[in-house]
Every structure is written in structure tokens, then in C-alpha cells.
Amino acid sequence: METTTRVAAVSLVAAIPIAVLGLLHVLYAHLSRVGLAPTFSPLHHPEAIPLMVVAAGSLVAFAALFLAIWRWLLLEKEVGVLHQAADVQSIGGAEVHVLDAPGVRLFAAGLRGPKIFATRAALNVMTPSQMRAAVWHERSHLAHGDTRFRAVYGAIGAAVGWIPGISRTVSAAIFLEERRADVAALESGSNTTDLIGAIMAVSRGQGIPVPALGDNHVGLRLRCLSSSDGEPTRNPARAFGLTALAIAVSPVVAHIPMVCGL
């Protein structure tokens, strides 16, 4: 399901600029056909109003997508600054970049060459076994490229989060990654008690100016670790795919009135 979800998510991101270009082309062709004169008014051509509204909405979504991508690129610079300021330690067989920063934090971050970061307070608060459990969780994020796809999900939320169900779908996709990382930590040798203790300790942390994986869904993750309850039933791949299809075909639908001579 995870691979399918990611393919559908990337398709949704790609569908947005494609739809914008298609809708602008259809709008231009329609206005050229009716004649874009100084006296042109949508009131005289009501068939153009829905097309203009859809095109404007698509432009807003594209602008939000661009701003989200730009934000992540700026945050990537913050990750580079943290990397330069950190001391590297080996914990649980992985390199952990230790920061002199406030709060109890342990997270994975970075689009290019993502790394595991931890504050020195985290090393002091968590037991060695809890620290290993947390590191193994984050190591799973690195192995599966979750930091990069977190940017994809963030872009989707920013661009089309207003569409009913998309925000919950993004949340479900992120939770599946967190759940998989929790399972990987347990399979690496951690016990449930240590992992729960690490999650609770890190969930109280604050102070790092970069998006950290695992900040959300703490309660749901704890319920899944303590029982089988809380597993999501929403299929993110299906929702992403259907939304991508709807966005991609919007220029075709907008073109129908012109083809029919309306």
C-alpha cells in the first residue's frame, strides 16, 4: 500500500500544474473564440464564468504548491545549519547528530542526505534502551525516504487541503509511515515499553525550527502499540489517485462546452 500511496501522491502533485496549464489554454481558446474585446464582459458570456472560476482556483492551488515547495527548500538550509552545529555520536548503530538546543527532541530531517538529530536533553532524559528504540524508529524513516515524502504530503495539504477529505488522507498517509517505523523499531530488538517511553518523552519536546517526523499522531501510535485498536481504515492511495484524476481531467471537462458549441 505504501508504494501505491506514494505514486498516487506524486501523481496528485504533478496533476496540479498540468491542470493549470490545461485550464489556462482552454480559457484562452474560449476567450479568443468569443473575442476578447474591450467591451467583453462575463455577464454577456455566462458560459465562461465557471471556466474562469475553476482556472482561478487552479492558480491559487498552484501558488500554494509553489510556496510549500519553497518553504521546504528554505527549511533545508536550516537542516544544514543544524548539521554543522551538531556533534556526531553513534547510537543504536546509527549516526545521531547531537544538538545543544532546548527541549527533548529526536527526529529525522533533510531532503538531501537526511540525518537523525537529537538534543542533548534527550540523551539525558531518555534511558539508553529508550534512546535506541527512538533511533531505530528514525532509522526506518531514513531507510524509506520518509523525510522527502513528508514534503510531498505537506505540499498536497497546502495546495488542495481545502478539498474535503484530503487533510484526513494526508494525515492517514503520514500515520502509516509512523506506524511502519514503530514496527521497524520493535523488529530491531526494542521492546514496547521502551518505545512508548521514548515517544512520550519526545512528544513533550520543542525548540527545533525544522519539521520533525512523528510530531503528530502520538495518541494513535500509543494505542496501536498497546493494542490493535487505532489502525486507520482510510486508503490514502485511492483518495490521492481519485483526486489526481479529477484534477487532471478538469481541463477536458472545461473544454466540453466549447466542443459542443455552447
Copy the grid coordinates of residue 104: 527533548
pLDDT confidence tier of residue 37, bands split at 50, 70 and 90? very low
Is the four-CA dihedral 186, 189, 190, 191 of positive or negative sign? positive
Domain residues for 99? 2-259
pLDDT score at 2: 81
Check residues 203 and 60 and name the one with the higher pLDDT: 60
Alpha-carbon distance values, 197 to 146, 163, 229, 241 (Å): 23, 37, 19, 37
Average pLDDT over residues 60-74: 91
Model confidence pLDDT, tens digit, residues 144-165: 999 999 999 999 999 999 999 9
State which H helix or E strand residue 149 sits in. Answer: helix 146-160
CB-count burial class (<10 Å; 0-12, 13-18, 19+) for 81 = exposed
State which H helix or E strand residue 45 sits in. Answer: none
Copy the grid coordinates of residue 125: 532524559
DSSP 8-state secondary structure symbol assigned to residue 226: H
pLDDT confidence tier of residue 237, bands split at 50, 70 and 90? very high
Q: Count of domains in the chain? A: 1
How many DSSP H helices and E strands does the chain contain? 9, 4
